[in-house]
Amino acid sequence: MAKFVLAGRADCPYYAKAELLADYLQKNLPNFRIHKITLHPDKWEEWLADLCINNKWKHKRSPIIWRELLDRGSKGLLLGGYNDFMEHAQEYYNVTSAMMSEVMKDIAVENMQTYLQFKEEEENIRQQFNPLHIWITGASMPACYNLIPMLASGKVFDNKTDIWLHLLDHSQSQQILQGLKMEAEDLAYPCLRKVTLHAISDDAFLEADFVIVLNDVLAKGDQCAEDDICKIKELWAQYATLIDQNARKEVKVIVSGSAYANLIALVIIKTAQSINPHNIVALPTQLEFEARAQIAKKLSINSSENG
């Protein structure tokens, strides 16, 4: 599977030509996939600079094309710009584009008009809809890939409820979250209206209706349990303070994970005192299954019989 990402300015004629060729390849080649990122000219240079810094690339013009070695969010392999993509298509797929320069410019103008119209419509929709704000902490964990389709498909909430997902994790995980955001947007669920990425900051959990904690804290062999507990208390006291300050007062908090789920829930209850404690629950399911297995072993019965 060849997975490419094509990004460029909305008014760039070379982006328009590369986009047309990429669409043709995706339509006619079963193992070719393209994800497109269109940006306003005013935001392009800053976005490109940040992208190149994060990936240690050197590129200055629109468009930029790279190949994903795994799923999006992994370390990408820079292909280059417009000319590099044309050469790649000719050498690997024996496909060329005969679009004339004037046609390229006309399409670029049309792309820009469409982009501005889309952004205007998006802003109008944003002002009209009142979504559920769902914050997921530890969103870089693999479990989040399975959680997002469940939330966005209407299986958890009714299919008429708009959802705004907020993916929160450490600043070092932002590249993973970016890939997760792309995957979520590509699902095209009608309930999923927006996905935003966050690191911990003063506006974390703003307007939260639901907070889902994917606990990624695991005990390390080189430190004792007391050290783990102290760090968890300190971290989640900070998170709970932000939940208390920024979330809606009827917010529901669900804590899951393989370790310290009950402790995290307790810290949130004690710190976020304006939140109804009945709205904060812990789901230490893995620990429950492990306990059942140990009891079943002692009683010499099947763990499924241990209700």
**Residue 268 reports pLDDT greater than 60:** yes
Q: What is the average pLDDT across 222-246?
A: 85
Residue-wise pLDDT tens digits, 140-180 = 888 888 899 989 888 888 778 889 999 999 888 888 899 99
Q: Which band of pLDDT confidence, cut at 50, 70 and 90, is reported for residue 21?
A: very high
Torsion, Cα 261 183 45 2, to 10 degrees, reads 130
Q: Which band of pLDDT confidence, cut at 50, 70 and 90, is reported for residue 226?
A: confident
pLDDT of 285: 66
**Cα distance between residue 247 and residue 151, in whole Å:** 19
- 128-299 CATH fold: Rossmann fold (3.40.50)
Name which CATH class applies to 2-123.
alpha beta
pLDDT of 301: 74
pLDDT of 216: 59
pTM of the model: 0.56
**Residue 241 reports pLDDT greater than 90:** yes
pLDDT of 218: 53
pLDDT of 75: 66
Residue 307 CB burial class (10 angstroms; 0-12, 13-18, ≥19): exposed
Q: What is the average pLDDT across 74-84?
A: 85
Q: Six-digit token pair at 48?
A: 């490109």
| More confident of the two residues 108 and 221 | 108
Domain segments of the chain as ranges: 2-123, 128-299
3-state secondary structure 239-288: HHHHHHHHCCCCCEEEEEECCCHHHHHHHHHHHCCCCCHHHEEEECHHHH
**Cα distance between residue 25 and residue 32, in whole Å:** 7
pLDDT of 73: 53
Q: What is the average pLDDT across 123-141?
A: 85
174-187 and 143-152 helices, crossing angle to 10° = 30
pLDDT of 258: 67
- Edge-to-edge strand ranges of the sheet holding 210-215: 192-198, 163-168, 132-137, 210-215, 252-257, 280-283
Taking residue 293's Cβ as centre, other Cβ atoms within 10 Å add up to: 12
Q: Which band of pLDDT confidence, cut at 50, 70 and 90, is reported for residue 71?
A: low
Helix (H), strand (E) at residue 304:
none
Q: Six-digit token pair at 149?
A: 């389709």
Residue-wise pLDDT tens digits, 191-210 = 898 999 998 889 999 999 99
Q: Six-digit token pair at 51?
A: 């992208």
Per the rule left: phi > 0, alpha: psi between -120 and 50, beta: everything else, 191 is alpha
